[in-house]
Amino acid sequence: MKASILPARAPIETNPLRFTDIPDPGRFEADEVLVRVHVCGVCRTDLHVIEGELPVLKSPVIPGHQVVGVVERTGERASRFRPGDRVGVPWLHRTCGKCEYCRTGRENLCEFPTFTGHTVDGGYAEYVVAPEAFVYRIPEGFGDLQAAPLLCAGIIGFRCLRVSGIAPGAVLGLYGFGNAAHVAIQVAKHWGVKVLAFTRDVRHQNLARELGAEWAGPGTADSPEKLDAAIIFAPAGELVPAALRNLKKGGTVVLGGIHMSPIPAMPYELLYGERVLRSVANNTRKDGQDFLELAAKIPIRTQVQSFALAEANTALNALKNDAIRGAAVLTIS
């Protein structure tokens, strides 16, 4: 099969992904399904994997964890899907089901998880294997390209909104306006939330306004009004004190990324007043299912720029340089 494989971690500017032929997946576990990949979203987490900002858990590795395709074959104990069913394969590949977090409904914090495109091969390829229990059925109404960004950017943005405690009529700040934020704003607007967008790129500021932001300006700007909550999607630690300065007493700043540059020293007064600073780690399957149902109801409309599988390096370079309007998606087959 064709795949864009990462032989070794390196800066994306060196174009480290190698487009090549590799063997098709062979035998797989009885509870798994083989998925023929149609498209795979390009995520900033892929950049963190490629550039070594996350621990090296598999090398070489095929990145990609926003996979949309159809079931090709099923394991002997897999019964949720049939060949031909359209499915999505997300970041959370498998959890142990036994640790204290799995046993208490917090599988996103599992002690022994595996992740698609990080600890197991992902979707920058013609086929991917995944446990059927961690695979989603794609709702009707979404084309393959439009569905791909929902599977990580959408789900993580939804979890960030949930833990922020945001309520109808409240004011929400979104810091960074790329893949995740352009989906999250649509959920927030559906919930009756007022959204302000903080992003350095004028093109992204314009997109935020088009999607309903009441105001858009630079990431370190003073907010035109105090925020009830803020979500930081950009992996920039310097935005943390900037967001806290704009936050009301009792408000929450949510860190939505898996990796962030160092947070600078800041005065305690920025946290005082019962302000909360918290991270979001991965997501539960319930987060994903609840989000996909809501996305179909709203309905969410993703803005996508497509690239061929052989252009994965090009897509990732564009993502790193904030040159993607909305989400980048690789077309596989």
- Per-residue pLDDT of 43-81, as tens digits, reads 999 999 999 999 999 999 999 999 999 999 999 999 999
3 state DSSP class of 143: coil
Domain boundaries, the chain: 2-151+303-331, 154-279
pLDDT of residue 333: 79
The domain 154-279 belongs to what CATH superfamily? NAD(P)-binding Rossmann-like Domain (3.40.50.720)
Q: Strand pairing partners for 130? A: 33
User: From the CB of residue 178, how many other CB atoms can be counted at a distance below 10 Å?
Assistant: 23
pTM of the model: 0.95
pLDDT classification of 288: cutoffs 50, 70, 90: very high
Which CATH code is given to the segment(s) 2-151+303-331? 3.90.180.10
Q: Which of 229, 257, 261 is nearest to 243 (CA)?
A: 229
**Rounded mean pLDDT, 186-213:** 97
> Of all helices (H) and strands (E), which one includes residue 190?
helix 179-190
d(CA 181, CA 269) in angstroms, rounded, equals 28
**Rounded mean pLDDT, 306-321:** 97
CA 13, distance to chain mean position in Å, is: 22
At residue 9, what are phi and psi to the nearest 5 degrees?
A: -65, 140
63 in Cβ contact with 124 (< 8 Å): yes
Task: Give yes or no for a cis peptide into 168 (omega within 30° of 0).
Answer: no
pLDDT of residue 26: 85
43 in Cβ contact with 143 (< 8 Å): no
From the number of C-beta atoms within 10 Å of its C-beta (0-12, 13-18, 19+), residue 266 rates as: middle
Helix 153-164 and helix 285-297, axial crossing angle in degrees, nearest 10? 100
How does pLDDT run across 134-188, given as a tens digit for each residue?
999 999 999 999 999 999 999 999 999 999 999 999 999 999 999 999 999 999 9
